[in-house]
Amino acid sequence: MSDAIFNLDAEVRSDLGKGASRRLRREDKVPAILYGAGKDPVSLTLAHNKVIQAQEFEAFYSHVLTLNIAGEKVDALVKDMQRHPYKPKVTHIDFLRVDKNKEVTTNVPLHFINEEKADSIKIHGGHAEHHMNDVEITCLPGVLPEFIEVDLQAVELGQTVHLSDLVVPEGVTLVELAKGESHDLAVATIKTAKGPSVEEEAEEGDSEEAASEE
């Protein structure tokens, strides 16, 4: 994955309002705003083709980006992105300024791994039910992970993985979990699937074979 997706050229705009935003979109530009870090908000425009390419990568939403604004490089996170209801168009972006010495709070995606290797699924006929797709974290920008893995290989049938079971990088705090034990939310559960398990099918096959031999 090229680092180019994390570097975007932006221009300061002074023509504000809904009418101005509509004109920008017709020119294949994306209106945006940059705020935070105790500084005044700045209205920006970005090239739509660059944004649409970058947003195809999952890391775009959780990685610290560099905005090149009039020769100045600004670190920022995507905090909100608005899209056209049916066209493949980004209509507005909210960027949050990032100070490398101050913690940020943002959402990062969860990657569920080893489902196909879990005995509870492969042998016992269970299936994984995902209760959340991302998680809110707090950390310094330098240790911000692009995603957090949820390893399901050793999860047994009927067992639930909670936030407290997740392995997060040093310096990263799960926001909900920091609120107390009552916020130890469910992340995924291995549930019994409908129909016979692999073991049950094997036993049924053995019984039918024995019956035919008789």
The pLDDT, as a whole number, for residue 203 is 53
Estimate to the nearest angstrom the gap between the alpha carbon of 155 and the chain centroid. 22
Q: Is residue 212 a part of any domain in this protein?
A: no
Check whether residue 59 and residue 130 sit in a common domain.
Answer: no
Supply the CATH number for residue 90's domain: 2.40.240.10
The verdict on residue 204 lying in a domain is: no
Global pTM value? 0.79
Average pLDDT of the segment spanning 140-158: 95
* pLDDT tens digit sequence for 112-143: 999 999 999 999 999 999 999 999 999 999 89
Domain end position, chosen among 49, 78, 99: 99
Which of 15-19, 28-32, 67-71, 173-177 shows the highest mean pLDDT? 173-177
Per-residue confidence (pLDDT) for residue 70, from 0 to 100 = 87
**Residue % of the chain over a pLDDT of 90:** 66
- pLDDT-derived band at 197 (thresholds 50, 70, 90) equals very low
What tokens appear for 5 in the block?
């997706």
Final residue in a domain of this structure, among 99, 134, 154: 99
Percent of the chain scoring above 70 in pLDDT = 83
pLDDT band at 210 (very low <50, low <70, confident <90, very high): very low
pLDDT mean across residues, the chain = 86
User: Structural domain of residue 116, as residue ranges?
Assistant: 105-199
User: Which of the listed residues 74, 99, 124 is the one where a domain comes to its end?
Assistant: 99
Q: Could you give the 3-state DSSP secondary structure of residue 64?
A: coil
| Of the candidate ranges 4-18, 44-58, 109-123, 141-155, the one whose mean pLDDT is the lowest | 4-18
